[in-house]
Amino acid sequence: MSPPPPDLGVVVSPAQMYEEVRRIGEGLIRLESKLDALAGDRKDADSRLADHEARLRHLEANRWPLPTISAIGAIIAVLASVAPLIH
């Protein structure tokens, strides 16, 4: 048998190829599980965001009477202070 020509490059055995494919497959499995966990975290974050948004909307809707009550109180105070001057 003659020796292989020196310009063949890298020779990869079937066992090395199998091990590499197995290693890549295991990496893909780990990556899939991480992606599934991220998808679950995103759903949790979306539900928390919706909850915070609803709570803020509720607080904003209930906040409007405070300035109105303050303005009415100021008008009453002005009328009460001006009433003795008119009589």
**Region of residue 9 (phi > 0: left; psi between -120 and 50: alpha; otherwise: beta):** left
Q: What is the mean pLDDT of the segment spanning 1-13?
A: 74
Per-residue confidence (pLDDT) for residue 82, from 0 to 100: 87
Grouping H, G, I as helix, E, B as strand and the rest as coil, residue 84 is: helix
Q: What is the dihedral of CA 63, 67, 70, 71, to 10 degrees?
A: -150
Find the distance separating the first CA and the last CA of the chain, reported in whole Å: 130
9-42 pLDDT, tens digit each: 788 899 999 999 999 999 999 999 999 999 888 8
Write out the two tokens for 78. 């002005």
Give the list of residues 6+ apart from residue 54 with CB closer than 8 angstroms, or none: none
Domain boundaries, the chain: 14-86
Grouping H, G, I as helix, E, B as strand and the rest as coil, residue 17 is: helix
Q: Given CA atoms 18, 19, 24, 29 in this order, what sign does their dihedral have?
A: positive
Q: What is the mean pLDDT of the segment spanning 62-87?
A: 85
Per-residue confidence (pLDDT) for residue 26, from 0 to 100: 97
